[in-house]
Amino acid sequence: MALPTSVALTAFNLVVGDRHFNGAATLECYALTTAAKPPISVLKPKLSEGNMKNFIQVLVALAAILMLHAPAHALSELNSPIDPKVIVTVGDLQWVWSGPCAPVEPSCGTSMQRDNFTIPTAAQWLSSFADTATVVAAFTTTPFTGICASPWFNTALDHCDLMDLQMGSIWNAPSPIGTFETQNAGAEAFLVRVVPEPETYLMLVAGLGLVAAIARRKRST
């Protein structure tokens, strides 16, 4: 025979800013007896509709607190050399997917124009890609994995939004490359630079060698 007993317990009591959340959960305790086994106590929690609403508000508040205190750029590579794996070369241009929002939108981080990467012109877009699909193909390794360079460029975020790219939400890209909210702050950002000529590398190496030789001569004298 079951003998129900109701017990009111305080389930939560939380202050977030100027809001106070609290509520009580009602528990029904049943003492179950059988001929073969000793009595067993079973707790069955029951939340009223009002308490459930308060409980959900508490969960939302806790989630907001965790988001506010989470590191915004935990995997930042802003001061590191750009990983060659995130650079996509098309013809004589090198492209990077630099972030999940417009490069001039400070609310979600701006795209640093570093290492000669700059905001692409319409002519550069059209010389490298035919449409949205060709951009997606160039910047994805699988249907669910994008080649994202945001950690090396975006000042606040470390990710890119593949779904936005697939929809054609590409900031400032001409049609038929950018086809959806291309001027929206949440459009995906890309940067581009001209592929350095081999002569440029040779001149750089020669210049470094000359500097090293001068430094050695100064030390010897």
Taking only the tens place, the pLDDT of each residue in 117-131 is: 999 999 999 999 999
Residue 210, pLDDT > 80, answer no
pLDDT at 93: 98
pTM of the predicted model over 0.75: no
154-199 residue pLDDT tens: 988 899 999 999 999 999 999 999 999 999 999 999 999 999 766 5
In contact, 163 and 100? CB cutoff 8 Å: no
> Among candidates 187, 79, 52, which has minimal Cα distance to 132?
187
Cβ neighbours for 180, distance < 8 A, ≥ 6 positions apart? 167, 168, 169
Which stretch of 62-66, 101-105, 144-148 has the lowest confidence by average pLDDT? 62-66
pLDDT at 50: 67
- Please give the average per-residue pLDDT across 46-66, as a whole number: 66
Per residue, what are the HEC states of 44-89? EEECCHHHHHHHHHHHHHHHHHHHHHCCCCCCCCCCCCCCHHHCEE
What is residue 41's three-state secondary structure?
strand
